[in-house]
Structure formats: C-alpha cells, structure tokens
Amino acid sequence: MNEKNLLRLLLHYAKEDVYPFHMPGHKRNTALLGETLPYALDITEIDGFDNLHAPQGILQQLNEQLARLWGSEQSFALVNGSTCGILAGVASCVSPEETVLVARNCHRSVYHAVELTGATPVYLVPPVDTGSGIAGSITPEQVRRALEAHPNTRLVIVTSPTYDGVISDMAGIVRTAHEAGVPVLADEAHGAHLVFTEQAERSAVRAGADIVIHSLHKTLPALTQCAAAHLCGTRIDPVRFQQALSMFETSSPSYVLLASIAQCADFLEAQGAAAFAAYRARLSDFSERCRALERLRVLGKGADKLENHPAFFAFDPGKLPVVTAHTTLDGQALLEALRQDFAIEGEMAAISYALLMTSVCDTEAGFTRLLEALFAIDREAKFCEKPSAFSVPALPELRCSPAEAAKRSGRLCPLQEAAGKMSLEYVFCYPPGSPLLVPGEIVNQDMVSHILKAQAHGLSVLSSRGALPLLRVCD
C-alpha cells in the first residue's frame, strides 16, 4: 500500500480550508456546482501532490507499486489511456523509414504511432478461426520468418490478448525477437488482469516483453482512461521512453484518474488473490452451465474446448464471445435481444458473434442473469445446419507507408468503385478499432466486399473522416 494513499490524501485535502488560486477553473466550488462530479478531488500539481512527469513523492510510490504488482523493471501510471503509452513506446524505439513488424489486428493507435514516426510497417497476419471469424494468434514462427525477410527490423508489435480474448505465445515471440536483437512491444490493453489469473505465465510482462501497455479500466476496477506502461529488461532506454511519454501524455493530469489507479493497485494488493479466486469460480460455474446451450455457443465454455480452435494459442477465460453461426441470428441481432429483452448491454457485435466482457467485479447475480438470457434466446433461435466458414479478406498491397500516404492529395470515391486505387484513409470497424484498410494500401475487391458485408450486418464501419461510403483515394 502507498505510504500515503492518494485518494485519502485528496479527501483530506478537500476538507481543509485552502483557497485555490490555481487551476482548474471550477475552484472546487461544490456549493455552486453541486457534488455529482468530484470537483473537490480535482486538483493540479500543488504542493504535496507530486508531478506525474517528474515523480518523486506519492506518484513515484504509485509507479513503484505498479512495478511490484506486475513484476516489471519500471512502471508508469497513465491517464491518457493505453494510446499514449503505445505512441510513446513506438516513438522511443523507431525513427523515420525504419521497419517495424506489426500484427495486422493491432489497434489503430499502433498504426497512428507508425504513421507519426514515419516507420515502414511489415504486417503479421493472424490466421482466422473458421467457425467464428475471430482472428487467431500470432506465432513465433511468423515472427522468425518476418525477421529473416526484414533483418533491419527495429521493433515487433503484437496485441495479446486481443479484443476478443485471443492470446499469443508471447514467451516464444519475445525469445525469437530477442535472438535477432529486436525488442518487443506488447499491446496488452485487454490483459492487465492476466498476471492475477491462471493465465499468469501468458502475460507479456512474465514473457519478458520490453514494453507492455495496460488499460487498467478495461478489465480491472479503474475509471476509464486509467492505464499503465511497463518496461522490462534493459533494451529500452527509460529516459527516451519518458521523454516520448511527456510528448504524448497530457501536461495537466487528472488527479481523479490517478486516485483511481492508486485505488485499483491497493485493491489488487489487499484483495486481489481472494477476488480473483472467486472470479475463477464464477467463470467455471458459468462454463459448466453453458453445456446445456443447444444453438448458441460460448467460445471456450461448456463443451467448446481450445482444441477446437487451432488458430488460438490460448484464450482469456474472462472474454465471452457468444457465437451465433449455428443460428439465423447475427451478432448484432443477439446484442439487440440482450439489450431490449433482458436489459443486458454487451460489448461488441461482429458478423457471427457478440462479445461480452467480464471482470473480477462481475457478480454471481450478473452471471445468472446472463445465463437466463442466453438460454431464453437459445430456445427461440432457429437452427442453421450448415454455418458458413469464415475467412479474412486478402491483405491489401502496401504501395507506400502511412506517413508517405498522408502527404498525397486525393479525391473522394464511392467505396464500390475504390478497387485498384490507393486508400488515403483508415477504414475500421469500431469497436474494436483494428484497421481494415490503412493509408498507402491498394484497395482490393475482396476488401470492398468484406466492408459491405460488415455494414449489411449492422456493424459500425468508419473511415478517418468518420463516414462511408465515400473513401478518399488516389490513383
């Protein structure tokens, strides 16, 4: 536990008769503004509360606590989400025109980092689980082959676990990259909890990844935007990383968010073992009860085993992709049924499944409610005897780097007429935010058909401008 608990310190300070002739502009005036929002706790870097960009006191204690919890060499509390950690991580490792290996299903923040640094991406394309359409794991062999083909690579970037819960063999990937003298950045935004579960050895920190980024708010009890970055080993210059972090993270950090990170860390230290044991028990019970589902299938639960999915190295048991492929429902229809009939809000709809996310904070009553809803929908769903096999569209040809594409002028073109032209925009389903098209790539007809199919199933497909069907291209 922190020598001084940040939240308690903020609460104590809020009660003191100290008048704020400093930012923020609300001046902690709860008499005027009310107490619905935490104005009383929202301060700036005043005396006794340290400085996030040069921590020496209570915030340094917090960073040290994060390092102890996850087992890193050095950790950093982040209040701009995982995005600022990813941007800083890439910027601290690569320079313009240098090569980076990027898992194709990385979040768009990785692509933005590549674009901002002027690096040249080489993509690692995951296999697809043919029964669900979910992208599988990146393998050490893929990394080895790519490094042999591109010996000047400066960084390997992999997302594990993915948004859907797919875990890659990070230990094998790290070992392969390190043998070639290349560091690894793990976007583990969706896996901050792994080190506290039975999948602890699958965590990127345990695997020795050089930079690991966590979104604490995704799977742990922390407010949205709370995140952490971890450095492991000696391949990353911590000074260069901190300098990059100071460029991408706000210079006016929210102490409300920092207090949330501190509370999350204290929870993990004091209650983590017991809370995660209870969580595992709830997940195990849920899995056992899923066996009785006849048409819907919860991936990795019930009778569905990991061996049925050779595209997956491992899977996060806390993620619940409910596969609709054996029914006439699609993912969007399933989410709408859960929302409208059972007051359950899911995370994301894909063509053939809906993703439900769980965490250590889910209750037994919540799991029971979900089970009752799934069984009710399962009884009403129409059975589909021959579900479609899923595949990913062919990877577009990379004509130039995203940074070079950003300099090109272009025109707006209907998506249906874009095949053969170079995209000057990102196109992605959101969520999860992994690009389908990247600036500098030649649009192929396979990709056009895939995007149109996603739209037909009610998925939110966006471009950099926020709207389709017009796409900015050049010939």
Q: What is the pLDDT of residues 129-180, one digit of tens each?
A: 988 999 999 999 999 999 999 999 999 999 999 999 999 999 999 999 999 9
Evaluate if residue 378 carries a pLDDT over 90: yes
**Do residues 281 and 373 both lie within one domain?**
yes
- CB count within 10 Å of CB 426 equals 21
Q: What's the first-to-final CA gap in the chain, in angstroms?
A: 59
What pLDDT does residue 2 have? 44
**Do residues 371 and 284 both lie within one domain?**
yes
Mind spelling out the 3-state secondary structure of 301-366? CCCCCHHHCCCCCEECCCEEEEECCCECCCHHHHHHHHHHHHCCCCCEECCCEEEEECCCCCCHHH
416 domain residue, yes or no: yes
Q: What average pLDDT score do residues 189-207 get? A: 96
pTM of the model: 0.94
**Do residues 287 and 374 both lie within one domain?**
yes
**Do residues 303 and 358 both lie within one domain?**
yes
Domain endpoint, select from 380, 413, 429:
380
CATH of the domain at 362: 3.90.1150.10
2 domain residue, yes or no: no
Domain endpoint, select from 329, 349, 380:
380
152 domain residue, yes or no: no
Evaluate if residue 268 carries a pLDDT over 80: yes
**Do residues 374 and 417 both lie within one domain?**
no
Q: What is the pLDDT of residues 21-71, one digit of tens each?
A: 899 999 999 999 999 999 999 999 999 999 999 999 999 999 999 999 999
**Do residues 375 and 405 both lie within one domain?**
no
**Do residues 325 and 415 both lie within one domain?**
no
**Do residues 376 and 336 both lie within one domain?**
yes
What pLDDT does residue 165 have? 97
Name the pLDDT band for 388 (thresholds 50, 70, 90).
low
**Do residues 369 and 418 both lie within one domain?**
no
Domain endpoint, select from 328, 353, 380:
380
Please state the domain count of the chain.
2
**Do residues 369 and 450 both lie within one domain?**
no
Chain-wide mean pLDDT for the chain? 94
- State phi, psi for 439 to the nearest 5 degrees: -50, 135
**pLDDT above 90 as % of the chain:** 89
Q: What is the pLDDT of residues 14-35, one digit of tens each?
A: 999 899 989 999 999 999 999 9
314 domain residue, yes or no: yes
Contact (Cβ atoms closer than 8 angstroms) between residue 255 and residue 289:
no
**Do residues 373 and 403 both lie within one domain?**
no
Name the pLDDT band for 88 (thresholds 50, 70, 90).
very high
How many whole angstroms from its chain centre is CA 300? 20
What pLDDT does residue 410 have? 94
159 domain residue, yes or no: no
CATH of the domain at 453: 3.90.100.10
C-alpha to C-alpha distances, 441 to 28, 170, 307, 403, 437, nearest whole angstrom: 50, 28, 35, 12, 7
Residue 333 domain boundaries? 277-380
Burial of 285 (0-12, 13-18, 19+ CB in 10 A): middle
**Do residues 284 and 326 both lie within one domain?**
yes
Q: What is the pLDDT of residues 317-351, one digit of tens each?
A: 999 999 998 899 999 999 999 999 999 999 999 99
Contact (Cβ atoms closer than 8 angstroms) between residue 193 and residue 359:
yes
304 domain residue, yes or no: yes
Contact (Cβ atoms closer than 8 angstroms) between residue 67 and residue 74:
yes
Name the pLDDT band for 10 (thresholds 50, 70, 90).
very high
428 domain residue, yes or no: yes
413 domain residue, yes or no: yes
What pLDDT does residue 387 have? 63
DSSP result, 394-442: PPPEE-S-HHHHTT---EEEEGGG-TTSEE-S-EEETTT--EEE-TTEE
Q: Residue 470: beta bridge partners?
A: 414
